[in-house]
């Protein structure tokens, strides 16, 4: 069984690199 983090790891991060303090997967986990 896959974990939620495994599913979200396939999503590309559209944000500008170097200007983000948090990983996209962490933000998605908090949102859930």
Stated length of the chain = 32
Distance from C-alpha of 24 to C-alpha of 16, rounded to nearest angstrom: 12
User: Can you give the pLDDT at residue 1?
Assistant: 56
For residue range 1-32, list pLDDT tens digits in order: 568 778 777 788 777 888 888 888 788 888 88
């Amino acid at each position: 069984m896959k974990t939620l983090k495994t599913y979200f790891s396939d999503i590309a991060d559209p944000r500008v690199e170097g200007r983000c303090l948090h990983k996209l997967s962490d933000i998605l986990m908090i949102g859930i």
